[in-house]
Amino acid sequence: MADEFEKMGESLRVKTGKGLDEWVATARAAGIAGHMALVNHMKSQHGLGHGYANMIVHAANASSSLSQDDDTLVEAAFEGARARWRPLYDRLVALVQEFGDDVELAPKKGYVSLRRKKQFALLQPSTKDRFDIGLALKGEQPAGKLEAAGSWNAMVSHRMRIAADEEADADVARWLRAAYDRAG
């Protein structure tokens, strides 16, 4: 993750003439509290793409793996009552890693993004009673467990709500594989 972040930071400087520290100062000076509100501000007022704006806001708010190591972020996601979901998470990560050696895990606060060339899924222990799987399957019609993500998370188009480990079955594996394939 650090290498990818450094590459994005170098690319940001080349494209904009400003380094990450300068952009973080700009974001903080805006005085906008909400993550997406600040991302949208950075995009509309400064002409940044979503990826750069999101990276800057995460850095400004110290809310991603930029401020904590990956293991700490994953452990925090499974604290307390959500600990029951850790075996399911481990099983799904093992499954996805079988798809190819290009799968990258990018932990955030509260969820783990699954990336290939771009994000294709996210795994989130949402509550003690629900584990959410977000999928980037733009244009796919919702069916079965697969539902439109709506406003749940702007980084994915669909989600599956899992209430018990056994619900993460072959159908879930098929949709994860479809999202992985599209991200290639």
In 3-state terms, what secondary structure has residue 148?
Answer: strand
pLDDT at 64: 45
pLDDT of 28-55, one tens digit each? 898 887 778 888 899 999 999 888 888 8
Identify the pLDDT of residue 34.
77
Residue labelled with tokens 């401020």: 67
* Domain layout of the chain by residue ranges: 2-61, 70-182
Distance CA 184, CA 135 (A): 14
- Predicted confidence (pLDDT) per residue in 84-98, tens digit: 999 999 999 999 999
Q: Quick check: pTM over 0.95? A: no
Q: Count CB atoms within 10 A of the CB of residue 10.
A: 12
pLDDT of residue 116: 92
- The confidence score (pLDDT) of residue 45 equals 94
What is the spatial distance between Cα 170 and Cα 178, in angstroms, rounded to a whole number?
12
Percent of residues, the chain, with pLDDT higher than 70: 92
- The span from the CA of 122 to the CA of 159, in Å, is 9
Query: Alpha-carbon distance 109 to 88, whole Å?
Result: 18
Q: Rounded to whole angstroms, how far apart are CA atoms 19 and 9?
A: 7
Whether 66 shows a pLDDT value over 50: the answer reads no
